[in-house]
Each structure stands twice: as structure tokens, then as C-alpha cells.
Structure 1
Amino acid sequence: MDAGAPTPGGGPQSTADLTTFVQNLLTQMQSRFQQMSDSIITRIDEMGDRVDDLERSVGELIAQADDEGATNAATNAEGGDAVAAKR
């Protein structure tokens, strides 16, 4: 087979062509993997931000519940004193 003759299937015809083809393929693959990696990292960062927001909201709800519980306890204590004074 002649080095310049086309190969079946229209593939690379020489070692240099094959090398160039493989290098281009690897470059494309590397680019795609980099894009996927960047996308995954972005999504992880966004998820981290959402988790931080959720933690902050839960903390605020707990603080609010504690404040309401303290207010209710104080109201009940005052109400109990008023009932005892009426007796």
C-alpha cells in the first residue's frame, strides 16, 4: 500500500496525519472535560450558597421560636400571678 494512498473508510493516510488527528481529538476531549468540570464546580458553588442560605433561615427560625417561647413563658408567668392575686 502506498503511503499517500487513501485508506479504507477515508481515515488518516500517514503517521503524521494520524498524529495530528489524535492530537486534535485529545484537544477536543480536554476542552469538553474542562467545560464539564467548570459546570460542575459552578453548580457545587451554587449549592453551597443555597445551603448557607438555608442554614441562615433555620437559625433565624430557631431564634424566632426561642423569642416566642420566652414571650409566652413570661405571659404565662404574669397570668399565673394575676390569678393567684385574685384568689
Structure 2
Amino acid sequence: MSETDPKSVQDLTAVVQTLLQQMQDKFQTMSDQIIGRIDEMSTRIDDLERNIADLMTQAGVEEIEGENKVSQDADSQSAKKVAK
């Protein structure tokens, strides 16, 4: 058969189309998995931030202008203990 035989061209076209479809399906599956993992990570980070904020509140630490600072109550209690 020659290279320009319509049957071989059709077969090659079909094989290439099948291969491209399989690749597209695999990429779509991987993309969906990545997006799912990113969403899960985002949820975990949000939970972690809430837990840290709760712990800071329980410890009497306030976040001021991006820096952590002990609340005034804790400072005054420490000063009273030192004065005694």
C-alpha cells in the first residue's frame, strides 16, 4: 500500500483521534483531581486558621497590625506578680 492510500490515511486519522481523546480524558481526570485536592487544602487551611485564632483568644493573645501582642490584661497581671 502506498502512503497516500485513503484506507491507511483514515486508519491513521482514527488512531490519532483516539489517542488525543484518551489524552484529553486523562488530563481532565488529573485536572479534576488537582482541583479537588486544592479545595481540600483550602478547607484545611481555613480550619487551621480558625483553630489558631481560637487558641490565641484562649491564651489572651491579640493580633495587632500583623504582630502578635499579649493583651493588656495579661501585661497588667504579669506586672502585678513582679511587684509582689
Compute the TM-score of the two structures, normalised by the length of structure 2. Answer: 0.71
Indicate the residue corresponding to 1:48 in structure 2: 35
- Which of 12, 32, 48 aligns to 2:2? It is 12
Aligned match of 1:24: 11
Quick one: distance in 2 between partners of 1:28 and 1:80? 78
Supply the AA of the counterpart residue of 2:77: G
Q: Which runs of 4+ in 1 moved over 3 A?
A: 76-79
Q: Does residue 49 of structure 2 align to residue 62 of structure 1?
A: yes
Give the SS at the match of 1:56. helix
% of aligned pairs identical?
21
Partner residue, 2:67: none
Name structure 2 gaps, 5 residues minimum: 62-70
Query: Which one has a bigger Cα radius of gyration?
Result: 1
- Structure with a larger share of its residues in helix: 1
Structure 1 counterpart of 2:68? none
Higher percent of residues as strand: 2
Give the drift of 1:12: 3.0
Structure 1 unmatched ranges of 5 or more: 1-10
